[in-house]
Chains A and B, each alone.
Chain A
């Protein structure tokens, strides 16, 4: 049986060029990048080159890039490193890596979003108060793909003299990202075809930030721990691919995504695109199938060889209604009827057409069984 993957917002495979770049580092460039000798210098050279590439994508300088273990650590470092003792403004639809971290700050305000999942910058402005240290607004949402007006929000932060962080984990590789507007910007390797275990935080030079881990003087003292050189090289290579080929791939995925949305709208009654009408990343669509239990639909699709996602996984592996879908005004049953499809490089038109057929069949089968839906 085939297994087609439509869950690229969860994670991506490591691409061939990334693997090729990182594999020799593991066995040949094994020096500790802090060491003074030849081996250390070779490692340092790889690390710095990767840092420059990441900086090029984010529009900063190499010294402003802190490598981390991933998006969560980058988000935690930004939020807690800047605002733990103060007030932080965020949104109701952030990833838990930001939401849970803001919950550890002295106080936090989570502003609402509209029915499309868009933040109103004026709401951010109204939430400002004397003790506000940080505004953290994600660039693109993981579940809806909705892109926030971060340039405008950055301006508000700048006028108020408050640091601005943006979680760009779901934006990098999907839309142009320039951290120029943000003081802090998080990215993750495994969302852009690098492996799990590497991420980066852009930290603008003037930003006042305290480390969250203590040890050696790695990463300008912001992140103690021997550098993951192979991971950084992988991230650098993945970012280079985005710089070289990202725009063309985004256009290709946008066409597939639009085809998927259109075909489902045509073939399946009573569906709605969550986040429709807002600017969205090219690869993501989140669709509500009225009267259908998303857990059952997800399993039905998986058993037919199509991997999609629904809701947020809790520790047991069961799903809970997504806080993002509830935040855009969906009822719990509506949130429980929604499926996220996130496309990626390996998806072809043939795969998408097969997916459309499987969704139409599975939804028809599920609705036939649900007596409430007739």
Chain B
């Protein structure tokens, strides 16, 4: 038997199932852990027709736990469900809502990675006796002996790459983490799942944010407000133009994100977009497309992964959204964990609260939060 134990974070999906299966097949000592993150019965009004469907994209539903347990039984590995509900609400759901209310567009998956999966979950797995954790994330990790650093690279399957959500991982965390799927195409992962006879081999991929049904954050936040006793009057506000004219009303700043065009409820001669949200006055500012362009941005709480914190400007491709194409830019450090990013070409909809992740080709240099 190998000396070390690897804890696999099993969601019940095909990716983490394959991770557990691959590691078990090559003789590693593996335990499966599923995090109970959110109680699906908590906001029942979000369920279609008031019931709970079997649709994917829902975290820790009983169906997903059943699937994860089924895979663990199939592989013959110890399996446990661990309760992270309170931590998840404190560290992910509440900040997610607070960020929206503060006029930013948050990324709960990054918060979950930074504060739950690669922090408290890692700690629990170690406490339980595992030396490392493995997840089904699509990213590659490699030890660079000359730089004496763990380097992170985009996954071989570029369409599945999740490095945008992993920029916050520290060297200490990376040293205890494995992403065994980083070198595979998704189709190969499915093929492996079939080969291993995993019961999740044909399970559809999950989509969107795990605890938000159908990706409808506004409905989720509205439901959460109702549960917490926050009334619509407390979140309603005005739609204004960039020169200060009030042109309508809206149902809450959380319903808007910078760059959004649909759902503004105003007619104008030319297309109008959300330029900014001002939570203090509950105002949503709208304007023309060209008002969305920014040549630079400030990035804070930067974590450098594949390179040490630079003292001189660095050239990089910068992604400002998960689906953003990455734009050439110069990153100029201006203080600890902070930098000014100047794009070669102005970028549309630079959104406070989103992550900016810096790449050199497929190498993830680091990333931070757009302020």
Interface residues of A (CB under 8 A from B): 292-293, 295-297, 299-300, 302-304, 314-320, 332, 362, 365-366, 369-370
Chain B CB within 10 A, most for which of A299, A300, A304, A319: A299
Provide the main secondary structure of the chain B interface. Answer: mixed
Q: Assess whether B47 is interfacial by the CB under 8 Å rule.
A: no
Report yes or no: A320 in contact with B127, Cβ–Cβ below 8 A: no
CB distance from A100 to the nearest CB of B (A): 16
Report yes or no: B127 in contact with A366, Cβ–Cβ below 8 A: yes
CB distance from A313 to the nearest CB of B (A): 9
Known A-B contacts A295-B82, A303-B78; A315 and B127 likewise in contact (beta carbons under 8 Å): no
Q: Which residues of A contact B82 (CB under 8 A)?
A: 295-296, 299, 318
Report yes or no: B124 in contact with A317, Cβ–Cβ below 8 A: no
Closest B residue by C-beta to A363: B127
Known: A292-B127, A303-B31, A317-B81. 14 other contacts (CB 8 A): A293-B127, A295-B82, A295-B124, A299-B33, A299-B82, A300-B127, A300-B128, A300-B129, A314-B83, A317-B65, A318-B81, A318-B82, A366-B127, A370-B123
Report yes or no: A365 in contact with B65, Cβ–Cβ below 8 A: no
Of B34, B36, B86, B128, the residue contacting A299 (CB under 8 A) is B128
Q: Assess whether B126 is interfacial by the CB under 8 Å rule.
A: yes
Q: Assess whether B80 is interfacial by the CB under 8 Å rule.
A: yes
Q: Give CA–CA (A362, B123) in the complex, Å.
A: 13
Q: Which residues of B contact A319 (CB under 8 A)?
A: 83
Report yes or no: B123 in contact with A320, Cβ–Cβ below 8 A: no
Report yes or no: B62 in contact with A295, Cβ–Cβ below 8 A: no
Known A-B contacts A316-B65, A332-B86; A303 and B129 likewise in contact (beta carbons under 8 Å): yes
Of B33, B34, B83, the residue contacting A320 (CB under 8 A) is B83
Q: Assess whether B69 is interfacial by the CB under 8 Å rule.
A: yes
Of A303, A318, A362, the residue contacting B83 (CB under 8 A) is A318
| A-contact bits for B54-89, CB 8 A (1 contact / 0 none) | 000000101001000100000000101111011000
Known A-B contacts A303-B31, A316-B60, A318-B36; A297 and B127 likewise in contact (beta carbons under 8 Å): yes
Q: Which residues of A contact B81 (CB under 8 A)?
A: 316-318
Closest B residue by C-beta to A292: B127
Q: Give CA–CA (A293, B129) in the complex, Å.
A: 13
CB distance from B143 to the nearest CB of A (A): 23
Q: Assess whether B242 is interfacial by the CB under 8 Å rule.
A: no
Q: Which residues of B contact A304 (CB under 8 A)?
A: 129
Known A-B contacts A295-B82, A318-B82; A303 and B128 likewise in contact (beta carbons under 8 Å): yes
Chain B CB within 10 A, most for which of A296, A332, A366: A296
18 chain-A/chain-B pairs, Cβ below 8 angstroms: A295-B82, A295-B83, A296-B128, A299-B31, A299-B78, A299-B129, A300-B129, A302-B80, A303-B129, A314-B36, A315-B62, A316-B60, A316-B65, A317-B69, A332-B86, A369-B123, A369-B127, A370-B127
Q: Give CA–CA (A314, B83) in the complex, Å.
A: 10
Closest B residue by C-beta to A295: B82
Q: Give CA–CA (A366, B124) in the complex, Å.
A: 8
Q: Give CA–CA (A317, B31) in the complex, Å.
A: 16
Q: Give CA–CA (A362, B127) in the complex, Å.
A: 8
CB distance from B48 to the nearest CB of A (A): 21
Q: Give CA–CA (A362, B86) in the complex, Å.
A: 24
Q: Give CA–CA (A320, B129) in the complex, Å.
A: 22
Of A302, A316, A365, the residue contacting B62 (CB under 8 A) is A316
Q: Assess whether B332 is interfacial by the CB under 8 Å rule.
A: no
Of A316, A369, A370, the residue contacting B36 (CB under 8 A) is A316
Q: Give CA–CA (A57, B80) in the complex, Å.
A: 39
Report yes or no: A296 in contact with B124, Cβ–Cβ below 8 A: yes
Q: Which residues of A contact B78 (CB under 8 A)?
A: 299, 302-303
Q: Give CA–CA (A316, B62) in the complex, Å.
A: 6
